[in-house]
Copies of this chain bind each other. A is one copy, B any other.
Amino acid sequence: MEIRTDLALERRELAPEPCGGITSETLSMGNTKITRITVTDPQGAKLVGKPQGTYITIEVPPFSDESASDDERRSAITVELNRILPQNGPILIAGLGNADITPDALGPKTVEHILATRHIGQELSTALGLGVLRSVSVISPGVLGKTGIETAEIIKGVVGEVNPAAVIVIDALASRRLSRLGCTVQIADTGITPGSGVGNSRSEISQSTLGVPVVALGVPTVVDATTLAKDLLQGEEEQEDIHQNGAGMMVTPKEIDTVITHAADLVALSINCALHPHLSPEVLMALV
């Protein structure tokens, strides 16, 4: 019985030792913990069930923890994004997911707060005292069931018009632990495949399909019910005994509306700060 998670960090934990083809390093900054996992060869990819590349996990204190500041949470994400994004050139940001399904709305909600600048002339931005703004464009492509078009196709089409130096895709993820929901961010240089594991080449959103680097930023918002039950168990042996009743059902906290609102605000501000480092968070918040 498989533990369902989209986090490379959690898959690494579950992989049998020794883990060849996987390296990892961890550092802590105040209340924030950052883990960088690199999958270096096909064997590692098989072990963690994810493509070769780098997966950065940022664990920030939950929003209910008032000993931590939003600045601290944002700062770690901004720094890690800047390590992985190209330093120059236009950026296209896509918010994946279904805006009408609360736990799936992270992408669409986040891009509502991204500062789009591609259409703002340099003269205007200078006149407004904003200096030279990096070109940023934003789309919310919707979901296949409502559009009839693979998200990857829409992004590919827009990439052809906008010619970005890189694409950032934002999506809601599944985690094995309730405690991660809304307060863990995974940044990967591998792109993603929505409804991952489907093995549908039309749906892959990556450098190989788009022709430019794709940074995937995800936040866990759901947990598989069976995984949740297993995770609440101490011993190994009981895991055999789990009923199949909850199989395939994804659950989310009662407070998911608040979780999504906070996470979307945090991720949007982190991206805005990463792309316009000469502007303060306060100025950027006032602009969106």
- Report yes or no: B232 in contact with A245, Cβ–Cβ below 8 A: yes
- Report yes or no: B139 in contact with A154, Cβ–Cβ below 8 A: yes
Complex partner residue of A154 from B117, B145, B161, B241, CB under 8 angstroms = B161
CA distance A256 to B241 in the complex (A): 27
Kindly state whether residue A84 has any CB partner on chain B within 8 Å: no
- Report yes or no: A233 in contact with B228, Cβ–Cβ below 8 A: no
Kindly state whether residue A3 has any CB partner on chain B within 8 Å: no
Kindly state whether residue A165 has any CB partner on chain B within 8 Å: no
Contacts of A139 in B (CB 8 A): 141-142, 147, 149, 154
CA distance A99 to B40 in the complex (A): 44
Q: A77 to chain B: closest CB distance in Å?
A: 22
A119-B145, A242-B232, A243-B234 known; A178 and B254 CB under 8 Å? no
Number of copies: 4
- Report yes or no: B157 in contact with A159, Cβ–Cβ below 8 A: yes
Convert A128-156 into 0s and 1s, putting 1 for each residue whose CB lies closer than 8 angstroms to a CB of B: 00000001111111101111111001101
Kindly state whether residue A246 has any CB partner on chain B within 8 Å: yes
CA distance A252 to B2 in the complex (A): 21
- Report yes or no: B149 in contact with A118, Cβ–Cβ below 8 A: yes
Kindly state whether residue A158 has any CB partner on chain B within 8 Å: yes
A221 closest partner in B (C-beta)? B254
Kindly state whether residue A102 has any CB partner on chain B within 8 Å: yes
Kindly state whether residue A160 has any CB partner on chain B within 8 Å: yes
CA distance A156 to B156 in the complex (A): 11
A288 closest partner in B (C-beta)? B146
- Report yes or no: B225 in contact with A233, Cβ–Cβ below 8 A: no
Kindly state whether residue A100 has any CB partner on chain B within 8 Å: yes
Kindly state whether residue A249 has any CB partner on chain B within 8 Å: yes
Query: 12 new A-B pairs (CB below 8 Å) besides A102-B102, A139-B142, A252-B256?
Result: A104-B254, A116-B145, A117-B148, A119-B144, A136-B148, A153-B162, A157-B157, A179-B245, A226-B232, A232-B242, A233-B233, A256-B256
